[in-house]
Structure 1
Amino acid sequence: MGIELELRVKRAARGKGRQRDVVILGSHEHGDALAQALDGVVRGRLARVDPYRDTRFTEQDAEAALPEVAALVRECTDPAQRAALLDLAELLRACAATPGGCLWFVGD
């Protein structure tokens, strides 16, 4: 069970008025560690992340989740999980700063 991260934005596609999601940033190397780090979170935005299905965070969700991740990083003692959480924090900040951006948690 792992969770990959993809920051996506809408871009114009061929055809009249069509749009498609484009991945502009991603994290694929911390999947299992990220799932373990988020396991047991029962409150806040991060509690919505499903390790078995895709979960989408908007810019507002990303902004709200940043303090939650910071708290998890402070409590984390496992180096691999800490690296995964720091990567998540970076992508949450990028999402919050990207108009129309959505951060996808791609579950296994």
Structure 2
Amino acid sequence: MRVPFIDLKAQHAALAEPLRQAMAAVMAECAFVGGHWVRDFEAAFAAAVGAHHCLGVGNGTDALAIALRAAGVGPGDEGITAANTFIATAEAITMAGARRSSSIAPTTI
């Protein structure tokens, strides 16, 4: 029996037309960074999750770095991560000003 991992086509179908319309509006205004589209997203997302604030970012590395800074991580701190993590994890620790560290035990490889 073949069990699909995830049916992206089915998920996209319900959102296809609203996404096309939203992308067309953004393209028509050439509003690719910042502006009212981002402010509208941040307000809607904050409301959806019950938060007072939301900050839209361009990638996961920035999201991790901002979260670390918001938590007070900075120079003099140590960020411990798994040795086989994606590079963004270690990079975000460095971007926050902390020293990154990772190790694995030879018996658990």
Using the size of structure 1 for normalisation, the TM-score is 0.21
- Write 1 or 2 for the structure with the bigger share of helix: 2
Q: Who wins on radius of gyration, i.e. which is larger?
A: 2
With CA pairs under 8 Å and 6+ residues apart, which has the higher RCO, 1 or 2? 1
